[in-house]
Structures are given as structure tokens and as C-alpha cells.
Structure 1
């Protein structure tokens, strides 16, 4: 979904944004592999044995049971809920731009969109989420075909000379956060690798998916920027000139956003249930499930409350690219760059070469630096947007 804002990153970084898309793909592929390596230890025979099952268990092995679980659980929950919020934000933004003459504000469209998400509270198995994700993929292919097809129809007017190596120092860190956020998948990988029929194919899968993603994202961002140059909007579909065509693509994008919502929502619910609702013997509160395996009424209410909470956040923080840049700079760099390499060094120090140790340190330093800079400028941008929305003079 966040590919839609990658052309906007080229506005502020030019060719550097294109290079960043490819470089971040390489780094994220590397950190994905080293994170999964931390799930394994070698026995006396030199055989790899899976001794951990999740990101949290890796953190517990490094930072201790309480500290590790708290840090990673909080970071994961923030990222998952913010992804949910972004889906609602982008739904409202797409619909208000599709039907500008309708007397419904962006917040109203967000509320209407969220009404379709309430049934997510009834999800109990990953199988149901996977079915929804399948339809999401189909919609995604249709959207890409529409946007890229339109861009190629404008090929004679492409602004080749507008792409430069110029960097907007203030906005490029935000764009970098958007790029990082478009690759964040590490929180899902331990579970994914554990459910593969042939775990030996994990490295090959990670390599090819990141190569494909890097190529597609860089080409998509480049072609879209060539089509609209400096007028490129935060969400690329806002640039489509024909209102009927824009409305069609935006409705498809809204459908994709709503179909994408269940996966991070389901993962966030699992985090809450695992930490707070496993029964008084293990956690503070009773189990969410009755003896027959059905959800209790109050547990369903808690799940609905999470949906409403993401809606309220979406209504009060309606700036898609800046919010995405902030989250990408914060939890994205932490979970995708810093933690995997830190855990890798702590758990595999005696098993890795000095070159890998140096590369791990470089990735940690890059992630920390880019994250802090991105957080600063994203927050500054959000504050300016809020002041502008409230009618304050930005120079006050």
C-alpha cells in the first residue's frame, strides 16, 4: 500500500531516493536473514536446531525475559496499530479526493470506511486473514496495471530533466522513513519461516522477494515522477486528472487498504491476548475464549475497541506521508535495522567473521542516525501541518 507514496519521495530526493529504495531493499533482506538465524542454535553435532519461535523470544535471549519482551512487544504493537491507522487515513484521503463534491469531509469517509472493518473483531484464525489477503493481492495487481498504464500513455511528455541528485535536506529524511516503512516485514518473518513447508528455502525466498520489490518500487517511483514531476502528490492517485478514472482507481485502492487492514490488526490482537488475556495463571486477566473455543462477549468488545481506537487516531492525525515517515523512522528502523543486527552480534558473535560484525555495526549506525533524523523532521512536519490546519501563522 505504501508504494503509493514512493513517487513523492523522489520529489525530495531525486535519484538519491531511487538509490535509497534499492539500498534499503538490500539491507532489509540482510536483516531478515540474520533475524531468522537468531531463531537457531547448533547442537553438539553441528546441526541447526530451532530453539526460538518469535521476535520476542530472540529479544528475551538478549535483554532478559521482562525487558526484552516489553521493548519488542511495545515496538511491535505501535507499528502494527500505526499500520492499521494508516490504512484508515489513506481510505479517507482517497475517498474525499474521489468525490470532492459530496458533502462528506475526510474524517467522515474514514468513519464510513471503518464501518467495514468492524467484522475484523470476529477473526479467530490466520486462515481467514490469508483469504482476505488473497483478494487484496488481486486488487493490488489491478491498481498497478491502471496507474502504470496511464503513466506510459503520457510517455512523450515525461519530464526527464526534472530528476536530479538534489536533496531537500528537510524532507528527504521523512522520505527515507517512508521507504523504510514500505519494506518493514521483520515482525512477521519468524512466524512465516516457522510455517514454511521447506524452511531451507527461506533465504532464497527473502532474496527474490526483496530483489523483485526493489526493482518494482524503484521503477514505479521513477515512472510516476517522470509523469507528474514536482506536482507529484503524497498519494500518487491524487495526480490522476480524469475524475471518473481517479475515482475508479481510488475506490480500488480503498478496497485494497480495507483488505490489508486485517493482517496487522490480527497480529496486534494476538499480542494483546498473549500478554494480558491468557488466564489468571499466566496473565493479569482471564482468557478471551470460553471453554467451547468461542470468543467471550467482553473480549469481542475489546477487539471492537481497538478498531475504534485506530479510527480515532486516524481522524486526529490525517497526514498520510508524514505519519508514515514518522513510524518508519521510529519502529521501522528499530525493528528492521537496529534490533536484528544487534541480536545477531550478541547471539552469534563467536560464529561470524569480523567483516559481518563490521557490517552489522554499520547497519545499526545507519538505522539509528536515519531514524533519529527522520523522527525529528517528521514530527516537525506534523506540527507545522497541525498549526496550519488550526489556522496559526507558522512564523508565530
Structure 2
């Protein structure tokens, strides 16, 4: 069966050889300015899918194809979901209202599980073999490839740019977070927040040498252990502070609409993992477990985050601080929670640095050579290592000049998350899979996209206003 001409650049004709239970492919590719290398074909015996790497410059991006386990994939996804705004989630619950925040949290989890699966399905096309059976062929290797298939080169650049903005913002805020925690934890050292941020930057600098998601999954696992320990510490301490005889639950807290929308931006910011879906799915040895992995990752993170957010709200009510760590008593508890957060920041940084570099590579700027070696085992060009260091130093620069952590986080979440996580996945799936969709699927995707678009505009306006007011009061 002949596939459609993807982006007027590629054509694939696949013939299945049943006697060898394999595939023989005649592949032709029109030469383009972006790449002049031939595609390579890979077959997964585990789940019977074929995937084609059309772009030679990306052959070393994620590591060897299909070497990672579902557990390693879940580590990277959970590390993304446990985002940089974890300290401010209890505060967002207070600002947005407990009931409303719980509803938003649960709905976001359900919808994000759905849209994550849409992104993964858009990486594949169905090919009919001579005997009439349908084989799934992985014809795209990134979120940007999906955008290009739908909107051309402009779509690719749009997705890549907003992913760079998001990942750079997260990487920057991790450095700021670590610096803020260390200056509070070790005041006797006499170092300012600036110098502690510099120390953190030095500690994360070796991450420029981690080049595959499989290796980074080890770092993600350590980060998850650290942040889970921090959550448990906060939950236990908050539970001990609850005075059940005086606490009363309020179903209708007095919450302003602007505070609610900013809080929604904070919550969405922490659930963002769409930028990692394609890369994580590509590293899985058994891709048939992808749906289960996504279900587990979002379910696990949602349950833990809800417990971590609700317990402090019950314990401290309107006294919940912008950083929940400031509700902890001075001494061992405060130091332990702060250091666990610093560990989380340090061991999460390699993941976001990886995707920053990956998206710069996907920009396909002709003036710049590839950011990766020909294979995962080959070192990247010298310039690429220097470029990685420049990215880290750029994040340090922004970390120094970006004040008002939670407000800025809400602004970025409101601006970027609706497009990356809700609108684009639905639009792309309709564009690529419309002929296979049921009426219910079409209505669901359209509804999600429209609501996310309108809600995104509202959140962006509200969070921008909040940010401008904050800056105006800080700098009279």
C-alpha cells in the first residue's frame, strides 16, 4: 500500500514478507535542504510495529531505539509532572479554592492522559499489507514532526519554539528554586541567593554530558525518590498540625476570579509532559505498554499531589505560604524538606536540558551543525558541548533576574500549556486520523480544543495582569 506524500518530501512503499515474518522496504525520499540522508527502517518484534527514521540528523537523539523499559519511561514522565511549581501547589489550592482546585486537578489529569495518547498515536500511520492486515508504521519521531505533517514548516517551528520557551522557563526556575532554598537552609554560610544559584549551576553543569533519555531516566528516578520523600514529610507534618476540633470545611471559599485563573495556570504548569511524549515512547522496548505507563504515571502523580496539597490546606488554611516550605518549622524538618527539593531540582535538570537541546536541533537552522553525534555511542560535535554549557549559563542569567516565582510560573503555564497539552494534540489528531475517528472522538477533541483555547486566553490575561501588578508594587 502506498502512503500519502508526507510534507511533499517523503514516500514509503512497504511490502511485507510473511515467510520470514519480517519486512522488506523499498524506500524513496525526495532530497531536501533539511536533509539529504536516506531513511532507516526499524522493526519491533515485541509489539509488531515498524518505525522509520526519515531524518538522519536525528538518529542519535533519544538513544538506541527500543532499549528502555516501561519503568524508565514512567520515571521520565513522572519527573516532568512533578514540575518546578510543586512548592506552590498548596498555595494554588488556597488561592483557587479547595473544591475548585481538586476538580481542576482531576479533570486535568483525565484530559492530559487522553491527549498524551493522542500525541503518541499521531506518531504512527496504518499500512495495509497484501493479506489485508493493518500494520502500524512509526513515520514521525517528534511532536515537531506531527506539527509539520499538519501545518507544514511553520507548524514545526511553532511547536519547537513554545517547547523551548517552556523548557527554558522550567530549567531557569529550577535554578532559582534551588538557590532560594539553600540561602534559607544555610544562612550561617553568609552566601546570597545569587551565589547559591551559581553553586547549583556548577552542580548541574555535568548534565551536559548526558545524551540519552535512558541514561537520564536514572537521574529522574533519584529526583522522584527525593520529591516523594519531601511530599511525605510535608503530609506527615501537616497531618500532625491539624486540629480537628476547630477546623471547618468551607465549600464556598471567598476566591477572586483572577486568583482562581492564576492558580489554574500554576496547576497546569505542573502537569505538563507533552513535550516528552514522543521521545519517551520511542525509547520503550515494548510500546504496547505505553498507554498503561501513561495511566500509571498520571494516576500516581495526581494521588500524591492531591494528598500533598490538601493536607497543608486543611492544616494551615489561609496561612498557607506561597512556598509550602515556609510553613515548616525551623530546624531539622525545614532543612530536610529544603534539601530534598534541591536534590529534586539538580537531578531533574538533565531532563529539561536534554529537551532544550533536542528542540534546538529540531529547529533545523542551517547555520548550526547537528547537536548530536551520528549514533548515541558517538560523542556530539565539540560545538554542541559548548552550546549545552551556554544554555546552562543562560538559565543562570534568567534565574538571577526573574523574581516572583509563583506569578511567573502561572504566566508561563497560562501561555504555553493550553497549546502544548490540549489544543494542538486534538487538532493534530483530527487532521491526521479524521477518517478513522468516531463521532464521539471528534466531538471530544473539538470540545477539549475550544475550551482550552478560551480558557487559555482568559488565564493568560489574568496571569499577565497579576504579574504586572506584582512588578508595579515591587518597583515603585
Of 180, 187, 193, the residue aligned with 2:275 is 187
Write the distance in 1 (CA, Å) between the matches of 2:466 and 2:177. Answer: 18
Give the Å deviation of 1:346. 1.1
Per-residue deviation at 1:295?
A: 4.4
Distance in 1 between residues matched to 2:277 and 2:268, nearest whole Å: 16
Asked whether the 8 Å contact 1:162–1:229 carries over to 2, the reply is no
- CA offsets per residue over residues 210-263 of structure 1, 9 Å max, x none? 223222222221111111111112221111123442122102211111111110
Measure how far apart 1:272 and its partner are.
2.0
Native 8 Å contact 1:345 1:360 kept in 2: yes
| Residue ranges of structure 2 left out of the alignment (5+ in a row) | 1-82
The aligned counterpart of 2:106 is 22
Cα gap change, 1:99/1:198 in structure 2, threshold over 3 Å: closer, same or farther?
A: same
Structure 1 Cα separation of the partners of residues 136 and 421 of structure 2: 24
Q: Is there any run of 5+ residues in structure 1 with no aligned partner, and where?
A: 278-282
Q: CA offset at residue 40 of structure 1? A: 1.8
The answer to whether the 8 Å contact 1:22/1:218 transfers is: no
Change (3 A) 1:327 1:247: same
Q: Is structure 2 residue 464 aligned with structure 1 residue 379? A: yes
Answer whether contact 2:358 2:371 (CA < 8 A) is retained.
no
Give runs of aligned pairs for residues 16-165 of structure 1, distance below 5 A.
Answer: 16-44=100-128, 45-64=133-152, 66-100=153-187, 103-156=190-243, 159-162=247-250, 164-165=252-253
Residues 298 and 43 (structure 1), Cα distance of their counterparts in 2 relative to 1, 3 Å cut: closer
Task: Please give the alpha-carbon distance, in whole angstroms, between the structure 2 residues aligned to 1:258 and 1:160.
Answer: 39
SS in 2 for 1:117: helix
Residue 297 (structure 1) shift: 4.2
Query: Structure 1 residue aligned with 2:391, among 285, 306, 310?
Result: 306
- CA RMSD in angstroms comes to 2.2
- Which moved further from structure 2: 123-132 or 354-363? 123-132
Q: Distance in 2 between matches of 1:353 and 1:219?
A: 37
In the superposition, relative to structure 1, how do residues 217 and 138 fare at CA in structure 2: closer, same or farther (>3 Å)?
closer
Give the secondary-structure state (helix, strand or coil) at the position aligned to 2:412.
Answer: helix
Whether the 8 Å contact between 2:238 and 2:311 is mirrored in structure 1 is yes
Write the mapping of 1:342-353 to structure 2, written as runs, cut at 5 A. Answer: 342-353=427-438
**Corresponding residue of 1:250:** 338
1:13 paired residue number: 96
Label 1:168 to 1:67 Cα distance change in 2 as closer, same or farther (>3 A).
same
Aligned-pair CA distance for 1:198: 1.9
The aligned residue for residue 300 of structure 2 is 212
Partner of 1:201: 289
How far apart are 1:182 and its partner, in Å? 1.4
Change (3 A) 1:254 1:163: farther
User: Residue in 1 aligned with 2:35?
Assistant: none
Structure in which a larger fraction of residues adopt strand = 2
**Given that residues 21 and 217 in structure 1 are in contact (C-alpha distance below 8 angstroms), is that contact kept between their aligned partners in structure 2?**
no
1:165 Cα shift?
4.7
Determine the structure 2 residue equivalent to 1:364: 449
| Structure 2 contact 160–362 (Cα < 8 Å) conserved | no
Would you say the 8 A contact 1:162–1:226 is kept in 2? no
For the pair shown, the structure with the greater C-alpha radius of gyration is 2
Distance 2:373 2:417 in 1: 36
Residue 150 of structure 1: CA displacement? 0.7
TM-score (norm 1): 0.90
User: Offset of 1:348 from its aligned partner?
Assistant: 1.4
Separation (CA, whole Å) in 2 of partners of 1:42 and 1:289? 30
Q: What is aligned with 1:322?
A: 407
The equivalent residue for 1:280 is none
User: Per-residue deviation at 1:337?
Assistant: 0.5
**Distance in structure 2 (CA, Å) of the matches to 1:287 and 1:222:** 46
- In 2: Cα distance, 1:290 partner to 1:43 partner: 31
> Does the CA-based 8 Å contact 2:124-2:139 persist in structure 1?
yes
Task: Provide the secondary structure at the position in 2 that maps to 1:42.
Answer: strand
> Does the residue aligned with 1:203 lie in a helix, a strand or coil?
helix
Q: For the residues of structure 2 that align with 1:214 and 1:319, how far apart are their CA atoms?
A: 26
Contact 2:214 2:283 (8 Å CA) reproduced: no
1:239 is aligned to 2:327: yes
